[in-house]
Chains A and B, each alone.
Chain A
Amino acid sequence: MENNLVLNEKSFQRMEKKQKDLGVVYHRSIWKDVKKEIKSNPMAVFACIFLAVIIIACLLAPLSPYDPNKLDIANKFLAPSLQHPFGTDEYGRDYFTRALYGGRVSLLVGFSAMFVTICIGTTIGIFSGYIGGKLDMLLMRFTDIFLALPSMLLMVVLNSFLKPGMTTLILVLSLFSWASVARITRAETMSLKERDYVIASKNLGASSVLIAVKHILPNILGPVIVAASLGVASAILTESSLSFLGLGISIPHASWGSMLQGAQSYILDKPMMAVYPGLLILLTVLSFNILGDVLRSALEPKIVK
């Protein structure tokens, strides 16, 4: 006992009261986890900043001194300059302004399609998982078939025969992407509905709707948020493909995809016209994908890292 601890009479008396070992409480909340995860990943920081900048820029597009659709043949194919950061296109329109307006369309389509997808998918998923039984089997068969369909092909067919436009595009995109969301939410619901707290509130007489909204929905939020982020990415990507094929947003209104369609004709002479909108698509989709993955590792701790 060479320690400098002073032994006294009390040292060898029984302890008066047991100190309660509470264990350590780690203060972890969803948003703290997400923040920590984003901070620890430089790619994620970049993604967030880029998305913030692009969204704000697109929202502020009307502040641009140029009209995105006004023709000015005298100034066509101007090289990038201070007045025209991206130069001008074949009709002399400011390409930067057009890119911002195109971004509004692309982002709007992306977010709306995601929103509709999540609404349909979550509703069907929770409904199917919570009610179970025959209805569940029927709905899941239906979902499986949707998952097996060659969606891009059918989207192309649908879009080529329907009146092209933003609403059509959003609906078509959602029609072919709700199925995977439904699968995820159903699986989560199935496991949640067996939890004691759900059974307890059921026994206390809570209605099914109340349980679904108050107990199940908040607890499947994690996977849904992840699906939403990845959903925006894939919606923007698909929209750009469809618009590129001339089956989405049609010229003169522009999305990034249809700008690329326009640029294709000049690709050998004016390659930069193709580079700008494509780069915007790439970076936006990339950011949403990274964000989705970061959210996944923050919100779904079972994932191996």
Chain B
Amino acid sequence: MNTLVEIKNLSVSYFTYAGEVQSVRDISFSIEKGKTTALVGESGCGKSVTSKSLMGLIEKPGVIKEGSQIIYNGKNILDFNPKEWNAFRGKECSMIFQDALVSLNPTMMVGKQIMENLENHNEEGLSKGELRKKAKEMLDMVGIPDAESCLNKYPHELSGGMRQRVMIATALITHPTLLIADEPTTALDVTIQAQILELMKDLQKKLGMAIIMITHDLGVVADICDDIVVMYAGKIVEKGSNEDIFYHPRHPYTWALMNSVPRLDLDSKEELVTIEGTIPDMIHPPKGCAFCSRCPYAMNICAEQTPEVLDLGNGHEVSCWLTDPRADVSGVPFQTGGVDHE
């Protein structure tokens, strides 16, 4: 397989007023070259923290725990020194943030902000003019009309969709091999969302980078992602291909998540599922399965012991007691047991 990044046993904690918040608890997954992987889950489940770890952007009071590894092209990037990080960030791996308005410096012209990324990794020694030309090309590529004049505009003079395009242009101008998109469409309205997603798919084809898409919007996931990682309370509960997760969910949380949004391909009479309750307190994470308190099929053991990860083949992995042959599976609406879709 063509693995680009392998995250191994990543744990991140934030030390706050109230205590240690265990945002990410021992997660492992990998990202394939040129593919799109989605990180899905509710707010606060640790998706953003995971992506920030990849970029080395965890800041105090956040700490990446001992024993965590992120292997990129054979190197553990968590061992990088600040200089190596700066060479990595922006060049190898770029990031698009959720809200372009606050992620762009309000008092710096757009062109300068795009060029900054290239300037930081200017090994070829390009001149200012060449940098500018590249920035303009990139703006053309992301579909901004009249790119030349856009270079001299300030962020507040652009519309929301245009700003997000500028962010994408900034991230991709260095042709990174990995692009992290942290909820890139959440702040936009629906029609613009579709345009931006289309643009990202298009650019991925042209430039061939891998994308990590962080989102809680399953529509986005279904549309463009190859692999899906479902996170809950700092842990991965299930991961697999788009097909696996959407059509053969094996974890009650995944199942509920998939059935909580209206879908055109499902029977319209089917009721949408709601997930009762709220995510657990991450300062005192539960002993057993974190989803236990909200799971309608929870068993006694769920509160006692964390279920092991079960590999169902083809990269489909799940962590749930319902896969155990001894489990009480009465009334469970999705497939259980240890074998993938029979």
Chain A interface residues (CB < 8 Å from chain B): 1, 3, 5, 7, 10-15, 18-19, 21, 23-24, 26
Contacts and interface: CB of A to CB of B under 8 A. Distances in A.
Nearest to A9: B326
B157 interface: no
A276 B303 CA distance: 68
A3 B284 contact: no
Contact of A3 (B18, B281, B305): B305
- Tell me whether chain B's interface is mostly helix, strand or loop, or mixed: loop
A23 B281 contact: yes
A12 B281 contact: no
Given A12-B324, A14-B297, A21-B293, 15 more contacts: A5-B305, A10-B300, A11-B299, A12-B301, A12-B326, A13-B300, A13-B328, A14-B299, A15-B298, A15-B299, A15-B302, A15-B303, A18-B298, A21-B277, A24-B18
B283 interface: yes
B323 to A, nearest CB: 12
B281 to A, nearest CB: 5
Contacts of B280: 21
Contacts of A19: 293, 303
Nearest to B284: A24
B305 A1 contact: yes
Nearest to B307: A1
B299 A12 contact: yes
Interface residues of B, number: 24
Nearest to A23: B281
B304 A12 contact: no
B301 A11 contact: yes
B300 A11 contact: yes
A7 B301 contact: yes
B18 A14 contact: no
A263 B221 CA distance: 78
A1 B307 CA distance: 9
Interface string B305-329: 1001000000000000100101110
A10 B303 CA distance: 12
A23 B278 contact: yes
B277 to A, nearest CB: 6
Contacts of B299: 11-15
B300 A5 contact: no
A7 B301 CA distance: 8
11 contacts: A1-B305, A11-B299, A13-B328, A14-B297, A14-B298, A14-B299, A14-B300, A14-B328, A15-B300, A21-B293, A26-B18
B293 to A, nearest CB: 5
B15 to A, nearest CB: 15
Given A11-B299, A14-B298, A24 B293 contact: no
Contacts of A26: 18
A215 B18 CA distance: 29
A18 B293 contact: yes
A13 B305 CA distance: 14
Nearest to A20: B293
A23 B284 CA distance: 10
Interface string B129-153: 0000000000000000000000000
A70 B299 CA distance: 88
A13 B301 CA distance: 8
